[in-house]
Amino acid sequence: MCASVLAALAISALDLSAQQKLSLSLPEAMDMAVERNNTLKNAALDIQVAKANKWAAIAAMLPQVTGSADYSNFMGYSMDLRGMTIAMPPYVTLGVRSGVTFTPAMLVNAQISEISRAMSDINLQQSRQDITNQVKTLYLSALVSEEVLGLLGRNLECLERLHEMTTTSVRVGASEQTAADQIAVQVAQLQNSIASSKRAVEMTYNSMRLLLDLDAATEIELTDTLDALMAGDYLSLLGEDFDMERNYSWQLMKKNTELAKKQMRATEMAAAPSLAAYHQYSFKEYLSKDANVMNMTPPNMVGMTLSVPIFTSLQQTKKVQAAKLAYEKQLNTMHDTEQSLEVQHRQLCYNLSTAMDTYNTQRQNMEVTQRVFDNISRRYEQGYSSAMDLTQTGTTLINAQSTYVQSIMELLNAQIALEKLLNK
């Protein structure tokens, strides 16, 4: 019995351990963020709210039916009509009233509700794009940070080996203590850099956990490699034409312009005639057996009302004027947005092209600097180079690696920015 319980607990512990480790490719991480992110859930709810408001606006133009019940008691009062006493006993009235009201403004308001629904849908798509881009940036940042750790780790191994060799030489009197001290200082600097890089990696993973709505104890394993993700066709991205209609910012601006136009139209329609029609059925029952009662309530009644605004002291005229000016402002904003997006496309293409050149240059520079460092390290082991040469070359290598890593992030960020603009 105890053995079976212990086995069950062991299996549960293994299951829990397995649950705390999550292996993700970049597409899987993006899909998980889209599925679990609360911002996207709220954006989807906004669409449902907009749909409900749209149908509420349409329903306002459809017939409405209202039921009523009324009880009245005149407390024994009776009416004397030319010598004839007419009793006024308590009574109950049941009524049903149906009616419909239509104004041109109501139709425009329904159209405005549809535009709001379309804008909510665009906001959802844009939020999804932003979330997936954030995941992609964090995913790539984590891979780049781990690449930094790998580069620094290899440098540290080499310097620690050389420091141990130098320390041994000092003990036998073949080298001076200053040489060992110089290398020791650089080893300490590298260790600090590695510790700082590890903190940066953990911070990146924590940000990813928040974005994916994961527990803080969940270990994330990235299955895609940096080389694979950087093997994109940047030239085809640069050569792609800018289709402004695919851009979410332009789509939202266009809908805002349509909204301003409809709001102007709704303001104009506020001065249009309105028509209301109704039918009312009433059933009146006296709570008395007295025959001398008078029922003056007709069971059926229909009516129609046409309302025409005549004079509003220029209030309506000024409202229409203000709405037209707001629409004109929106047209100007739309024009500025189009020009801004065109300029932004040119700038982002330039940024990506520059980032590609910088990346290629810094990669070559790092490779050359690495070969120089390896050569100086071998010469130092053979006694042909000084500790000063070694530390200076090591510092140059660290700077070259840092610049190389920075060029990777600039290239990836430039790619993501251009893809977002093109809605790729």
Helix runs in 270-386, H state only: 315-382
Q: Using 50, 70 and 90 to split pLDDT, how confident is the model at 76?
A: confident
Q: How many residues does the chain have?
A: 424
Fold of 23-60+103-272+315-422: Outer membrane efflux proteins (OEP) (1.20.1600)
Q: Judge whether 398 and 190 are in contact, CB under 8 Å.
A: yes
Q: What is the largest CA-CA distance in the chain?
A: 144
Neighbouring C-alpha atoms within 13 Å toward the C-beta of 238: 15
Cα Rg, the chain, nearest whole Å: 39
Q: Which residue has the higher pLDDT, 205 or 83?
A: 205
> How much is the pLDDT for 369?
92
> How much is the pLDDT for 17?
44
Query: What DSSP letter does each residue of 135-161 carry, written as one string?
Result: HHHHHHHHHHHHHHHHHHHHHHHHHHH
pLDDT higher than threshold 70 for residue 19: no
- For residues 257 and 333, what is the distance between their CA atoms, to the nearest angstrom? 9
Taking CA atoms, 260 is separated from 112, 116, 324, 333, in Å, by: 9, 11, 9, 12
Tens-place pLDDT, residues 166-186: 888 777 776 678 878 888 888
pLDDT higher than threshold 60 for residue 295: yes
Q: Which residue has the higher pLDDT, 79 or 225?
A: 225
Q: Using 50, 70 and 90 to split pLDDT, how confident is the model at 231?
A: confident
Residues contacting residue 373 through CB under 8 Å, at least 6 positions apart: 155, 158, 393, 394, 396, 397
> How much is the pLDDT for 290?
65
> How much is the pLDDT for 1?
42
Tokens coding 246 = 């695919």
pLDDT higher than threshold 50 for residue 2: no
Q: Using 50, 70 and 90 to split pLDDT, how confident is the model at 291?
A: low
Neighbouring C-alpha atoms within 13 Å toward the C-beta of 134: 19
When pLDDT is averaged across residues 326-333 and rounded to a whole number, the result is 94
Lowest mean pLDDT among 11-15, 107-111, 212-216, 253-257: 11-15
Residue 374: left (phi > 0), alpha (psi -120 to 50), or beta? Answer: alpha
Tens-place pLDDT, residues 184-206: 888 888 899 889 889 989 999 99
Q: Give the chain's mean pLDDT.
A: 86
Q: Which residue has the higher pLDDT, 313 or 128?
A: 128
When pLDDT is averaged across residues 151-156 and rounded to a whole number, the result is 86
Between β-strands 91-102 and 64-72, what pairing exists: parallel, antiparallel or unpaired? antiparallel
pLDDT higher than threshold 80 for residue 47: yes
Lowest mean pLDDT among 171-185, 219-233, 251-265, 293-307: 171-185
When pLDDT is averaged across residues 250-271 and rounded to a whole number, the result is 91
Q: Judge whether 266 and 105 are in contact, CB under 8 Å.
A: yes
Tens-place pLDDT, residues 380-422: 888 788 888 888 888 888 889 889 989 999 999 999 999 999 9
Spans of all domains in the chain: 23-60+103-272+315-422, 66-102+274-308
pLDDT higher than threshold 50 for residue 278: yes
When pLDDT is averaged across residues 13-32 and rounded to a whole number, the result is 74
Can you say how many angstroms the Cα of residue 15 is from the centroid of all Cα atoms in its chain? 34
